[in-house]
Structure 1
Amino acid sequence: MEYFQVMQTPLGKLTLLSDGQALLGCWFENQKHFGGKYDLTEAEETNTLVLQKAQQWLTDYFAGKAPDVATIPLKLKVSPFQQQVLQALQQLPYGQTVTYKQICHLLTDDEQRAKNLSRAVGHAVGANPFMIFIPCHRVVGSNGSLTGYAGGLARKKALLNLEQATF
């Protein structure tokens, strides 16, 4: 069984999904890839312990704290490649940014292969089912520009400003 809660944040509503043991996803209302690979109409609106912890984590995050995402069990339902990309993002410290190119180089030492991975990395980042928890908003273009964010560029900028990140 899957359970959900909708939480109001300073950047709009977030839908949180859980199986009762782990968080399955977190999406901004009307974002690209909303719901990911899940049918949210089949989930029950109930506030499980995992969802309560996730809501507290988000409350702390929006209060300007840097909560530890390791306190929230995440269950990834993604391809092995996307899992590699998302695991790389999870290593990125609060308030720091990374470029798509840097992520490619984390995945391979082969320069040509790294160049060929850029679109795949962009897709993996864009389809991240854990908005904010896995910080895809910290990925910027090679020139520091704000590019692509499923939740919208205004939200991406607001999240980076909240973290006092330089970009």
Structure 2
Amino acid sequence: MVYLGNYASPVGDIVLGSDGENLIGLWFKDQKYFLDSIKEDTVQKDDLNIFNETSKWLDKYFSGEKPLISDLPISPRGSDFRKSIWKILCEIPYGKVITYNDIAKEIANQKGIEHMSAQAVGGAVSHNPISIIIPCHRVVGSKGSLTGYAGGIDKKIKLLEHEKVDMSNLFIPRKGTAL
């Protein structure tokens, strides 16, 4: 059984997921891959302690504080490869961005291999089940393009602006603009 809760954020409604003790999901309502990692039945239960803790964490984040990821018991579900990518995401500082290629190089280094596909990294980043807290919004394309955010590029931009990321070197797509 997976429990679901809700959080109203300044950038859109959020659905929280838990196994009863750990946070296993945080999705923008109706985002791409919504509840993708959840195979069990779900039940609405807003009053779980983990949801209260997560709401407090998000309140701090949206008020401009920089709460630590380690402040919450998170347990994202995914393959070992995806988890290795998500671990790197957790190390990206507030207000900074890195590229998919940076992550690919780090993974190649960790595995002792010559090359890792940035596209494979992109697939893992896009399937991050705990948005915001595991900060996939801090990953950009190799030339600073704001690509691939399952919650939508508009939300990615708002989150980066909220964190006061220097947007001057980033390519922000406009409607009708191909990347």
Aligned positions of 1:101-140 closer than 5 A: 101-109=101-109, 112-114=114-116, 117-140=117-140
Which position in structure 2 is the counterpart of 1:99? 99
Paired residues for 1:14-163 under 5 Å = 14-38=14-38, 42-109=42-109, 112-114=114-116, 117-163=117-163
**Alpha-carbon distance, 1:46 to partner:** 3.2
Percent same amino acid at aligned positions?
37
Question: Residue 27 of structure 1 contacts residue 129 of structure 1 at CA under 8 Å; is this kept in 2?
Answer: yes
What is the TM-score with the length of structure 2 in the denominator?
0.87
Deviation per CA, 1:68-126, whole angstroms, max 9, x where unpaired? Answer: 11011111210010001000101111111000000001111378523xx2111000000
Deviates more, 1:1-10 or 1:32-41: 32-41
Q: Aligned residue for 1:4?
A: 4
Distance 1:40 1:111, change over 3 A: closer
Shift of 1:42: 2.2
CA distance in 2, matches of 1:111, 1:153: 32
| Aligned equivalents of 1:17, 1:40: Cα separation in 2 | 11
Q: Distance in 2 between matches of 1:61 and 1:40?
A: 30
- Contact (CA 8 Å) 2:2, 2:41: kept in 1 or not? no
Find the aligned partners of 1:41 and 1:61 in 2 and give their Cα distance.
30
Q: Following the alignment from structure 2 to structure 1, what is the Cα–Cα distance between the partners of residues 39 and 64?
A: 32
Structure 1 residue ranges, 4+ long, deviating more than 4 angstroms after superposition: none
Partner of 2:151, secondary structure, is: coil
CA–CA distance in structure 2, aligned partners of residues 41 and 15 of structure 1:
15
Per-residue deviation, 1:5: 1.0
Q: Deviations over 1:136-161 (max 9, x none)?
A: 00000111111110000010000000
Evaluate the alpha carbon distance shift between residue 40 and residue 30 of structure 1 in structure 2; reply closer, same or farther with a 3 A threshold.
Answer: farther
**What secondary structure does 2:115 align onto?**
helix
SS of match in other structure, 1:36 = coil
- RMSD in angstroms over aligned alpha carbons? 1.6
Distance in 2 (alpha carbons) for counterparts of 1:42 and 1:134: 22
Structure 2, unaligned runs of 5 or more: 171-179
* Higher share of residues assigned helix: 1
